């Protein structure tokens, strides 16, 4: 579920940042100092995008080798600090001339495998529910 969205456009192209409920919940679990580091990193990323400096953006993102599912956008890790990471989807949609970054979760580096497993299970369950809904409609 997306609870917040920020959009900025440049010459007919838009960049959308979506924030999930899980991301917002995770944020409340960190100290004020950690929250400040997270917000500062996101502000720098937003500023880079507004300046059309996507090289800065991708310099700070690490693409994960295994996607959550074959139907999801590319999954990345954004390094906030040595120990804090943000898991996000990044999608470049040339058909609608937009880029979408969905902030999924925040975690400590040593918890990233557990959080990824949880994301996989959640998206798998969501897809199963969508398939069931389609089958029930038909």
Query: How far is CA 16 from each of CA 79, 82, 122, rounded to the nearest angstrom?
Result: 20, 26, 23
Q: Hey, what's the torsion of the CAs at 29, 32, 33, 34, to 10 degrees?
A: 20
CATH number of the domain encompassing residue 92: 3.30.2310.20
Helix (H) or strand (E) holding 7: strand 2-10
Query: How far is CA 76 from each of CA 122, 130, 132, 136, rounded to the nearest angstrom?
Result: 17, 24, 29, 34
Q: Hey, what's the torsion of the CAs at 21, 48, 90, 87, to 10 degrees?
A: -50
The number of distinct structural domains making up the chain is 1
Q: What angle do CA 106, 110, 115 make, to 5 degrees?
A: 45
In this prediction, residue 39 carries a pLDDT of 94
In this prediction, residue 16 carries a pLDDT of 86
HEC readout, 61-110: EEECCCCCCCCCCEEEEEECCCCEEEEEEEEEECCCCEEEEEEEEEEEHH
In this prediction, residue 67 carries a pLDDT of 57
User: How do the pLDDT tens digits run along the chain, 138 residues long?
Assistant: 455 455 555 566 788 889 999 999 999 999 999 999 999 999 998 888 878 788 888 888 888 866 555 556 778 999 999 999 999 988 888 888 888 889 999 999 999 999 988 888 887 777 777 778 777 886
φ, ψ (nearest 5 deg) of residue 128 = -60, -45
In this prediction, residue 119 carries a pLDDT of 85
Residue 22: which domain range?
2-137
Query: How many other C-beta atoms can be found within 10 angstroms of the C-beta atom of residue 76?
Result: 20
pTM for the predicted model, two decimal places: 0.79
């Amino acid at each position: 579920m997306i609870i917040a969205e920020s959009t900025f456009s440049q010459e007919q192209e838009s960049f959308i940042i979506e924030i999930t409920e899980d991301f917002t919940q995770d944020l409340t679990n960190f100290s004020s100092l950690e929250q400040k580091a997270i917000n500062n990193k996101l502000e720098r990323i937003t500023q880079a995008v507004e300046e059309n400096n996507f090289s800065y953006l991708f310099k700070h993102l690490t693409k994960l080798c295994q996607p959550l599912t074959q139907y999801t956008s590319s999954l990345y890790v954004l390094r906030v600090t040595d120990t804090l990471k943000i898991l996000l989807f990044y999608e470049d949609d040339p058909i609608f001339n937009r880029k979408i970054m969905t902030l999924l979760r925040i975690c400590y580096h040593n918890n990233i495998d557990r959080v990824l497993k949880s994301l996989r299970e959640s998206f798998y369950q969501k897809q199963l529910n969508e398939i069931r809904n389609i089958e029930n409609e038909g």
